Amino acid sequence: MEYRLPATVRDRLGSALAGRRNKDACLTFATFVARYWSAPRKLGLPFALDRRALAAVEALGLSEGRVRGALRTLQQAGFLERLPCTGRTHQRTPDGLHRRPVSYVIAPDYRAAFDAANKRAAAARDRRSQDRRGSTLAVAQRPPVAFPMAPPTSYPKWSPSQAVRCIWDRTGAKALQPAEPNSKLEAALARWGKALRERAG
């Protein structure tokens, strides 16, 4: 995610850099430093800034000369404080002796602004977390949705006497009852059967 200076820091530093030709480079460099050294656990700790190494950082996009100028201007604006060197001032490298990187800290006034911004961000995260927990609890406490009961998978044995009471097919019950005897049909069948027996005999 893209990091941005807190509004209070950005406005204050912008006012301190007003009229500077390298204002944009200073704001870019201050944002780069704050991204890594303004977190609650790192705020106030010293950090080394090597202009030769920083010039190779593509995300920063500043040459060694512009890094040097931004460091000087940010000290004058009160954003950075340079710590005194202790021990040897130079170190041996494959390219020969080089001056050891100088250590800096974020100045106290800006440290206080970063600390306040960190606390506001933490409080906002806590509120969002509580809101999520509250919404989750509300969903969990909702009464269960009542679904209609599924029809039974087995039915009792059918009988004609129960068909009359069946709510599913009241008209079919009459069709399933025994039919009344038909005397004319029975007489015709009897004559037809008698004719067949005489003919066979």
Determine contact, residues 73/17, Cβ cutoff 8 Å. yes
Please state whether 37 falls in left (phi above 0), alpha (psi between -120 and 50) or beta: alpha
By CB neighbour count within 10 A (0-12 exposed, 13-18 middle, 19+ buried), where does 70 fall? buried
The pLDDT tens digits for 116-166 are 999 999 999 999 988 887 777 666 666 666 655 555 555 455 455 554 454
Computed over every residue of the chain, the mean pLDDT equals: 80
- Between CA 123 and CA 133, with CA 128 as vertex, the angle to 5 degrees is 125
User: Is residue 33 predicted with pLDDT exceeding 90?
Assistant: yes
Q: Token pair of 26, please?
A: 């200073």
The pLDDT tens digits for 4-15 are 999 999 999 999
Per-residue confidence (pLDDT) for residue 112, from 0 to 100: 96
Cross-strand pairs, 104: 47, 82
Confidence of residue 173 (pLDDT cuts 50, 70, 90): very low
Determine contact, residues 113/9, Cβ cutoff 8 Å. yes
Determine contact, residues 10/35, Cβ cutoff 8 Å. no
Per-residue confidence (pLDDT) for residue 185, from 0 to 100: 77
Mean pLDDT throughout 172-178?
Answer: 50
**CA–centroid distance for 191 within its chain:** 92
| Range picked from 41-50, 98-107, 164-173 for highest mean pLDDT | 41-50
Cross-strand pairs, 105: 81
Q: Which structural domains are found in the chain, ordered by start? A: 7-86+99-120 (1.10.10.10)
The pLDDT tens digits for 38-94 are 999 999 999 999 888 899 898 899 999 999 999 999 999 999 999 987 767 666 777
- Between CA 162 and CA 170, with CA 168 as vertex, the angle to 5 degrees is 65
How far is it, in rounded angstroms, from Cα 82 to Cα 138?
54
Confidence of residue 167 (pLDDT cuts 50, 70, 90): very low
Q: Token pair of 57, please?
A: 């950082």
Mean pLDDT throughout 21-39?
Answer: 95
Q: Token pair of 36, please?
A: 């890594």
Per-residue confidence (pLDDT) for residue 166, from 0 to 100: 44
User: Is residue 175 predicted with pLDDT exceeding 50?
Assistant: no
Cα pseudo-dihedral 8, 12, 15, 20, rounded to 10: -110
Per-residue confidence (pLDDT) for residue 191, from 0 to 100: 83
Find the helix or strand (DSSP H, E) in which 93 lies: strand 90-93
